[in-house]
């Protein structure tokens, strides 16, 4: 067994295989020199220099599981006919291969290697940016998505001057409808950060960002937070089918197109029967849960047991922004009806539900209302429909609004 990728998906695959009785050799290949670690703290505690030992290690005892770690070793290619993974440290033959190389930060043209220009995806990224926060330097974040908001939150907590620039008309554009994300605009001002929307960036140079209108913003550090993409460039033309978005095109049991090859986590997309489309989910919960399906499929194939059930989770993620706890479960489409629970202007927690045909709950966004999220996720999983009138009353538990 060879696992390409030293993040959460790769580590959990190794652990789940051993739990299911896989007794063969397991080798985990990780491009970073660090043992597998947890990524969510990078934009929070690690940036602020707190939260315990570094890196924030995963709760997996690789020595006890007899898993060989090849750290600082990058996957570079694949020979599917020979069942060989090529790495920069030499070839690794496999009987089964799991692709779990995750995602990489998207960048802006011409910014690679510029001094003072950062991305935030790895532990080393966080360590390079942290001295700016420690010195209370100024920060310009390009992109008001999840990473831009979380980094701005940490920088303001450290006492930094912060400006966030977004080309779209509001924060979290492309992720949430404008009317849902608009209340979040006030969070920036309330925390003392400047949010400039509708302003495209035309150039990034060391220590400054130029905007389409001609304004130039100077800063001690520039953070490029314009999204991420599957780390699969090394697989192009190597016999594993990739989707248009660059993800490994896995089936409903997370099997790739090549024999003996599986894929899990941020690098893999999968067909969702629940939502009737292929999903690519770049979040921690997907990397945690997918490996169980992979391990079940591999060990079932070895022992002759029943094949693994289809992988069709209710996607889930969370974010901490300017003192708010934001959670989202499910998947919403443009045709879904929007239903509000609570008033963001009231200064209290609020939620938004998306309802499909027949009132079926498709997704829920909860701001400081964790019970709505927990109940909503369960309702989505069982395909429940809501009584819209009752669900719109924030005093009614969401589960009590199910029909």
Measured distance CA(146)–CA(136) in Å, rounded: 22
Domain boundaries, the chain: 2-105+228-303, 117-224, 323-401
Measured distance CA(366)–CA(140) in Å, rounded: 28
pTM over 0.85: yes
Measured distance CA(164)–CA(223) in Å, rounded: 9
Measured distance CA(176)–CA(196) in Å, rounded: 18
* Topology alike, domains 2-105+228-303 and 117-224: yes
Using only the alpha carbons of the chain, give its radius of gyration.
22
Q: Are 327 and 340 in contact (CB under 8 A)?
A: no
- 185 φ/ψ sector (left φ>0, alpha ψ -120 to 50, else beta): alpha
**Domain at 323-401: CATH code:** 3.30.390.30
Measured distance CA(272)–CA(167) in Å, rounded: 31
The strand pair at 26-30 and 324-330 is best described as unpaired
Q: Are 314 and 376 in contact (CB under 8 A)?
A: no
**Domain at 117-224: CATH code:** 3.50.50.60
* Residue-level pLDDT at 56: 79
Q: How many CB atoms lie within 10 A of CB 351?
A: 22
User: What angle, rounded to 10 degrees, do the helices at 146-157 and 123-134 form?
Assistant: 40
Give the pLDDT of the chain (403 residues) as one tens digit per residue.
Answer: 999 999 999 999 999 999 999 999 999 999 999 999 999 999 988 999 887 667 778 999 999 999 999 999 999 999 999 999 999 999 999 999 999 999 999 999 999 889 999 999 999 999 999 999 999 999 999 999 999 999 999 999 999 999 999 999 999 998 999 999 999 999 999 999 999 999 999 999 999 999 999 999 999 999 999 999 999 999 999 999 999 999 999 999 999 999 999 999 999 999 999 999 999 999 999 999 999 999 999 998 776 555 678 999 999 999 999 999 999 999 999 999 999 999 999 989 999 999 999 999 999 999 999 999 999 999 999 999 999 999 999 999 999 999 9
148 phi, psi to nearest 5 deg = -60, -45
* Residue-level pLDDT at 69: 98
* Residue-level pLDDT at 380: 98
**Pick from 80, 82, 113, 89: which is nearest to 27 by CA?**
89
Q: What share of the chain is helix, strand, coil (3-state, %, to 5)?
A: 25, 30, 45
Helix (H) or strand (E) segment spanning residue 98: strand 97-99
**Alpha carbon of 116 to those of 77, 154, 205, 207, 212: distances in Å?**
32, 18, 9, 6, 21
* Residue-level pLDDT at 304: 58
Burial of 334 (0-12, 13-18, 19+ CB in 10 A): exposed
Taking the CA atoms of 387, 390, 395 and 396 in sequence, report the sign of the dihedral they define.
Answer: negative
Q: What HEC string does 210-238 produce?
A: EECCCCEEECCEEEECCCEEECCHHHCCC
In the sheet that holds 277-280, the strands lie side by side as 248-249, 268-272, 277-280
* Residue-level pLDDT at 347: 85
**Domain at 2-105+228-303: CATH code:** 3.50.50.60
């Amino acid at each position: 067994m060879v696992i390409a990728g030293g993040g959460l998906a790769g580590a959990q695959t190794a652990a789940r295989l051993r739990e299911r009785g896989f007794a063969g050799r397991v080798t985990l290949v990780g491009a970073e020199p660090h043992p597998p670690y947890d990524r969510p703290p990078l934009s929070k505690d690690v940036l602020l220099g707190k939260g315990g030992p570094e890196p924030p290690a995963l709760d997996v005892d690789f020595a006890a599981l007899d898993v060989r770690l090849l750290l600082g070793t990058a996957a570079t290619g694949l020979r599917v006919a020979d069942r060989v993974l090529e790495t920069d440290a030499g070839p690794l033959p496999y009987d089964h291969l799991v692709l779990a190389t995750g995602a990489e930060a998207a960048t802006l043209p011409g910014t690679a290697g510029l001094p003072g220009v950062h991305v935030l995806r790895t532990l080393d990224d966080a360590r390079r940016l942290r001295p700016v926060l420690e010195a209370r330097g100024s920060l310009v974040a390009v992109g008001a998505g999840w990473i831009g908001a979380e980094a701005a939150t940490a920088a303001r907590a450290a006492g930094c001057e912060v400006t966030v620039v977004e080309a779209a008309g509001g924060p979290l554009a492309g992720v949430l409808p404008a009317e849902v994300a608009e209340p979040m605009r006030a969070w920036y001002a309330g925390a003392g950060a400047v949010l400039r929307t509708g302003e495209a960036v035309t150039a990034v140079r060391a220590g400054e960002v130029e905007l389409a209108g001609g304004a130039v913003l100077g800063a001690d550090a520039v953070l490029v937070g314009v999204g991420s993409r599957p780390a699969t460039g090394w697989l192009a033309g190597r016999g594993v089918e990739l989707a248009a978005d660059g993800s490994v095109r896995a089936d409903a049991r997370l099997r790739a197109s090549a024999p003996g090859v599986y894929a899990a986590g941020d690098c893999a997309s999968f067909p969702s029967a629940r939502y009737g489309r292929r999903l690519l989910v770049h979040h921690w919960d997907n990397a945690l849960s997918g490996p169980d399906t992979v391990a079940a499929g591999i060990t079932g194939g070895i022992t002759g047991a029943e094949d693994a059930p289809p992988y069709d989770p209710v996607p889930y993620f969370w974010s901490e922004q300017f003192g708010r706890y934001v959670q989202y479960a499910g998947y919403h489409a443009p045709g879904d009806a929007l239903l509000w629970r609570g008033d963001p202007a009231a200064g209290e927690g609020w939620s938004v539900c998306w309802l499909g045909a027949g009132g079926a709950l498709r997704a829920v966004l909860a701001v400081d209302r964790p019970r709505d999220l927990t109940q909503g996720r369960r309702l989505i999983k069982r395909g429940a429909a809501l009584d819209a009138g009752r669900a719109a009353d924030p005093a009614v538990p969401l589960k009590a609004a199910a029909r």
